[in-house]
Amino acid sequence: MKGGPSRHFTWEEVGLPAPTTPEAAHYASALFRNAREMAQRLEVVRAAADSPIRVGSWYRSPAVNALIDDAATRSTHLEAKGVDFEIVRGPYAAPAATQELVEALIRAGAIPDGGLGRYDRHTHLDSGPAGRRWFGKSS
C-alpha cells in the first residue's frame, strides 16, 4: 500500500485502508483528516527526537477497541486522533523522556496541546481536548 498521512508514516501504520475511490475517501474523510493531523504532530516529535518512531496502535475500529482491556469506550483511537508509539532510539526513547520531550514541544508551541498518556512501554498522544495527562500500564 503506497502513501501515508505524512512523509514518514504509512496508512498501514494508521490502520486505515488507503482510500481507493472518491466515495471511500469521502466516507472516511474525517478519519483521514484526523490521521493526517496527528501524523504532523508525530513528524515534529520524530524530528525533535532525531529517531524513527514505532507505531503500536493508531486507528481502531469499534470492534477492535472493544477487545482491548481498559480501552476507553470513547477512545480517541476510534477517530484516528490517538496514537500509541515508541521513540526507537536515542535519549528520548524511554517513555518518561518521551513525555518530557512532548511536553517541551507543547510548551514551545511546536505541537498543539492534547492528550498525553505515559505508559510503562509506550506513549499515547492524541489531538483531543487540551491538558489531559495520565499514567497507565501497557497491555
Site residues for Zn ion per CB under 5 A: 82, 84, 124
- Residues 139 and 86: their CA atoms lie apart, in Å, by 14
Pairing between strand 115-119 and 53-57?
unpaired
13 or 84: CB nearest Zn ion: 84
Residue with nearest beta carbon to Zn ion: 124
Least distance (Å) between residue 41 CB and Zn ion: 14
Block residue for cell numbers 471511500: 24
96 or 108: CB nearest Zn ion: 96
41 or 124: CB nearest Zn ion: 124
81 or 124: CB nearest Zn ion: 124
Least distance (Å) between residue 139 CB and Zn ion: 10
Least distance (Å) between residue 27 CB and Zn ion: 24
Least distance (Å) between residue 43 CB and Zn ion: 18
